[in-house]
Structure 1
C-alpha cells in the first residue's frame, strides 16, 4: 500500500514533469478515451460529449472513440491505461476515488495512482445526496430527522450505495459513526438498482450521486434530504447541503478527470488539456452534463494533481476510521 510520504513525493515529481517537454505536439489522428463503467452512466456521458468536441484541435484531428472497460470500480480501465503507449492516443476518464481513495483500501491495486499516470484535466463535478423513500415517514425532512428516526427504528436503519468502498458508501458510514447511529450499509452494483429499491420501499435510504435522484425527487417518489457540495446543487436548489444542516465533515465534491499514461510528452498533455477545457465551455456539453446532475468544470494538470493529493490525504484517516478494506 502506498504511503503518504511516497504519494506526496511522487505528486511533486508528477507536477514537475508537467512543466517539461516539447513546446509543440502533432495532433493525434483519433484518440481513445477509456472509461471504467458501463455505457449510459454519468461519467460515460462526460467522456462521449467531450469526445465529440475535440476534433480539429491541436490535440486531435478526429473525435475520440470511447471504450468502456467496465468492472472493479473503474480499476480495469486504469490498468489498461497503465499499459498504453504514452503518446496521447489513449486517455482514461476516472472518478477521483480510483486514484485517491482506493490506495487506502486495496493493498494491490494493479497500478500506481501517481507514478503510472499524468493528470490532464478535471472534467466534471458531482455532488452526492442522501435520499429516503416511502419506508421513512413523511415527517422526516432533514438529516437530523433521519438520524433520530434511524435510532428509533434500528431494524430498518439502512442505506444503499452504488458499491462497497465507494465515496457514497463512506459518506453514509461517517454519518452513522459520527452521530452514534448504526446505519447498516447495503451495497449495490451501481446506482440504478439501489434507487429503485428506495423508491419501492425495500430499503430506507441511499447515498449516491445526486443526479441519480433528480427525476424521482421532482416526481415525489423519494425525498433528497441533503447534498454533499460546498454549495447547493444547481439541479436541486431546494435541498440544503450537509454542511448547512450541521454536518460539514460530509462536504464532498467528487470529480471525474482525464489521465494520460506516465511519460506522455508535456506538449501532448498540454494540447489534450486545452482541447478538453475548450469542449467543457460548449453549451451543449454543459447542458448534457446537467441532465445527469454534473457540473462541467475543467482545470490545469497541476490543479488536478493538487486536488488528487489533497483527497488522498483527506480520505486516508477517514477510511481507517471506518475500518473498511477490500477484504471487509
Structure 2
C-alpha cells in the first residue's frame, strides 16, 4: 500500500510541472467588467485576438457589467488563480471604484498585474441637434439650462462619471447626471438624443461623428488627436487646462503562478507589437504604453500612483455610489 502511495505521489509530482509547461491547454476567459460597445469592450476584444494568436489558444470575452465594473472585477478576484481567468480593467474599474464603493476586495492586493495596454483622452460630445456649434456655445447653453441639461456616463465611478463631475466644476454649472451600465449604452443615448452631453472616447465616438449623429467639441488633452486633427483641444476650444485621460490594463487573480504571469505578459507584449493590433489600437486614438512600461511591476507601481493621485480628488468632489 505504501509503495502504491509513493508511486502515486511521484506520478503527481511529475504531472505538476508538465501541466504548467502545457499552459494554456484550454480556452482562457477575458472578463470585461463593462457592457458591450464601450472602449473597454472594444479594446478587450482586440487584445484577446492578439494574445490568442500569441498563445495559440482561444480567449473568450465575457462581459460582466454592473456597479461601475465592480461586479466583473470581483468575479476575477474570486476566480481560481490558474491563468484561465483574466481581467481587462481601467482607471474607473481599478482605481476610482476604490474611493467610491465599499469593496469586499483590495484593488492592489487581490489582483496580480499582467501589464499596461494603452491610454486615451475623452471627447466632449453632444447630441446632434443641440443648438451649439463650439465648446463656448455649449457651455453657454448648459448654463442657460441648469435644470434641464443632462449628461450621461458609463456608471457610477466610471471615467465618464468622474470626468463629468470635474467638467461641471470646471464650467461652474450643474448638469443632471444619468448613469448607464456602460459606454455602449450611454453612446446609444447620446445618438438618440436622450441626453445632451457625454464625455466619451474616440474609440466609440468617431463613427457617430462621421455619420453626423453627434457633435464633438473638443479633446480633453493638451494635443490634438492624430486620427482626428480637426477636433480642437480644450485649451484651444475655451476650457484651458481641462485634461482627462484614462488607461487600460490586464490583471489575473492573486497567487497565479509566476510562470503563467510571465507567459501572459509575453503574450500581451507580443499582441501590442503585432502590426495589425497596433494599427487598430492607434486608429482608435489609443496611445500604447512603451515596452519598458508593459511589465507587471510597472503596472503595479503605476496603479498605486494613480490611486494616491485620484482618491483624494474623487473624495473631495463628493462622488459616491449612493
> Smaller-chain TM-score range?
0.7 to 0.9
- Classify the secondary structure of the residue corresponding to 1:311: helix
Given the alignment of the two structures, is residue 119 of structure 1 paired with residue 113 of structure 2, yes or no? yes
Task: Tell me the TM-score normalized by structure 1.
Answer: 0.80
Where structure 1 has 5 or more consecutive residues not aligned to the other structure, the ranges are 1-21
Distance 2:72 2:320 in 1: 21
From 147, 156, 167, the equivalent of 2:159 is: 167
Please identify which structure carries the higher helix content. 2
Question: RMSD in angstroms over aligned alpha carbons?
Answer: 2.7
Preserved contact between residue 120 and residue 257 of structure 1 (Cα < 8 Å): yes
Distance 1:39 1:198 in 2: 16
Where structure 2 has 5 or more consecutive residues not aligned to the other structure, the ranges are 1-16
- Classify the secondary structure of the residue corresponding to 1:226: strand
Preserved contact between residue 95 and residue 254 of structure 1 (Cα < 8 Å): yes
Partner of 1:315: 310
Q: For the pair shown, which has the larger CA radius of gyration, 1 or 2?
A: 2
Partner of 1:90: 85
Given the alignment of the two structures, is residue 132 of structure 1 paired with residue 118 of structure 2, yes or no? no
Given the alignment of the two structures, is residue 51 of structure 1 paired with residue 44 of structure 2, yes or no? no
Distance 2:190 2:37 in 1: 21
- Classify the secondary structure of the residue corresponding to 1:233: coil
Given the alignment of the two structures, is residue 209 of structure 1 paired with residue 206 of structure 2, yes or no? no
Partner of 1:270: 262
Moved more, 281-290 or 162-171: 281-290
Partner of 2:25: 29
Distance 1:249 1:122 in 2: 26
Q: CA deviation at 1:259?
A: 0.2
Q: CA deviation at 1:246?
A: 6.0
Given the alignment of the two structures, is residue 301 of structure 1 paired with residue 296 of structure 2, yes or no? yes
Preserved contact between residue 156 and residue 204 of structure 1 (Cα < 8 Å): no
1:29-86 residue CA offsets vs partner (Å, 9 max, x unmatched): 23332222334543233333333333575xx452323233233332222212222232
Given the alignment of the two structures, is residue 232 of structure 1 paired with residue 224 of structure 2, yes or no? yes
Partner of 2:75: 80
CA 1:265–1:243 in structure 2 vs 1: closer, same or farther (change >3 Å)?
farther
Distance 2:195 2:63 in 1: 30
CA 1:186–1:82 in structure 2 vs 1: closer, same or farther (change >3 Å)?
closer
Preserved contact between residue 131 and residue 225 of structure 1 (Cα < 8 Å): yes
Distance 1:53 1:191 in 2: 23
Task: Tell me the TM-score normalized by structure 2.
Answer: 0.81
Q: How many residues align?
A: 299
